[in-house]
Amino acid sequence: MLTDVIDYLICPVCGAVPFLAGGSVRCERGHSFDVARQGYVNMLTGATAPGTADTPAMVAARAEFLAAGHYAPLAHRLAELAADAEVVADAGAGTGHYLAGVLGAETAGAGAVGIALDVSKHALKRAARAHPRIGAVAADVWRGLPVRDRCVDVLLNVFAPRNAAEFARILRPGGTLLVVTPTAAHLHPLVARLGLLSVDEDKDRRVEETLGGRFAKAVQEVTEIRLTLGRTAVAAVVGMGPSAWHTRADELAERIAGLPDPVEVTASFQITQWAVRA
Ligand SMILES: C[S@@+](CC[C@H](N)C(=O)[O-])C[C@H]1O[C@@H](n2cnc3c(N)ncnc32)[C@H](O)[C@@H]1O
Ligand SMILES: [Zn+2]
């Protein structure tokens, strides 16, 4: 709930300390942010949200696919890596699946709290309910995060945009940024068979370029999951990914119909631990 994380937030307009007042979050200088009926607070400051926010259909597909447990090994690994954290944030949290996995793990501190940040209100509605100690906040990673300096122990960033300066600012000294990116083997053979957007070879170098100035790469590991997916699950995993933006739904459905049912698919994730440079 927002009460769990309000102490770690700042007013996105003036940087002052905010507080909960009725149905809104306010700061002492009078800036006010609505708390939606579904429990997330809207701290977006720009006139328009970026066009990269996940749509209702993408969020529904992701919620369905993740709830089926297909990516559970990734959630477990992230929970292990974040086991000692008291304050966990997730930039581009989506439905809050991985953040809830961290807070709900047996190894998690009983008082650990989670700040779910995303631009998609459809995603935040779910994130706000994903775990009792998650506070969900609408914010644009590109514009700056309404989170206090140096208060986050572990920051998750799973298949979502990165802002190195802001990530470094909100992490405490000694804190860890956990970045999950797809490897070139992710969703083999669906990428080739369905003509999905593929991970470009340069992805690693670009992530390094973005983060390298403020973070030191500590440990890098790959988690691979072999999945046997029926048609509905294939449609969900495609619908939740970037190809959903670029390919017509009827065209995709036609290509999916041409696949074996079920089909063997590999999910392949790179998890990189980054330490803030002093
Ligand atoms: C591929 S999804 C991943 C969601 C979640 N991390 C997961 O793996 O289930 C990318 C997420 O980033 C969010 N997003 C896109 N642009 C953003 C931005 N500028 N600021 C914050 N979130 C953003 C989208 O709304 C979406 O929820
Ligand atoms: Zn303010």
Residue 247, pLDDT score: 76
Position with higher pLDDT, 53 vs 100: 100
Q: What is the pLDDT of residues 54-97, one digit of tens each?
A: 889 999 999 999 999 999 999 999 999 999 999 999 999 999 99
Nearest protein Cα to ligand 1, atom 5: 94
* Residue 153 maps to a domain: yes
Domain span at residue 234 reads 39-276
Residue 151, pLDDT score: 98
Neighbours of 109 (CB within 10 A): 15
What percent helix, strand, coil does the chain show, rounded to 5?
30, 30, 40
- Ligand 1 within 6 A of CB of 75: no
* Residue 88 maps to a domain: yes
Q: What is the pLDDT of residues 6-16, one digit of tens each?
A: 999 999 999 99
Mean pLDDT of 200-207: 83
* Residue 224 maps to a domain: yes
How would you label 245-259 residue by residue, b for 16+ Cβ within 10 Å and e otherwise? eebeeeebeebbeeb
CATH of the domain at 164: 3.40.50.150
Total tally of structural domains belonging to the chain: 1
- Ligand 1 within 6 A of CB of 140: yes
Q: What is the pLDDT of residues 112-125, one digit of tens each?
A: 999 999 999 999 99
Residue 111, pLDDT score: 94
* Residue 174 maps to a domain: yes
d(CA 13, CA 198): 38
- Ligand 1 within 6 A of CB of 141: yes
Token digits of residue 230: 């029926």
pTM over 0.85: yes
* Residue 149 maps to a domain: yes
* Residue 216 maps to a domain: yes
Closest approach atom of ligand 1 to CA 157: 6
The percentage of residues in the chain with a pLDDT greater than 70, rounded to a whole number, is: 99
Token digits of residue 159: 């298949």
Residue 211, pLDDT score: 96
Cα–Cα distances (Å) from 137 to 20, 36, 41, 51, 263, in that order, read 13, 10, 5, 18, 37
Residue 69 CB partners (closer than 8 Å, separation 6+): none
- Ligand 1 within 6 A of CB of 78: no
Residue 12 CB partners (closer than 8 Å, separation 6+): 33, 43, 44, 45, 139, 143, 144, 146
Residue 204, pLDDT score: 83
* Residue 255 maps to a domain: yes
- Ligand 1 within 6 A of CB of 4: no
- C-alpha 54 – ligand 1 centre gap (Å): 7
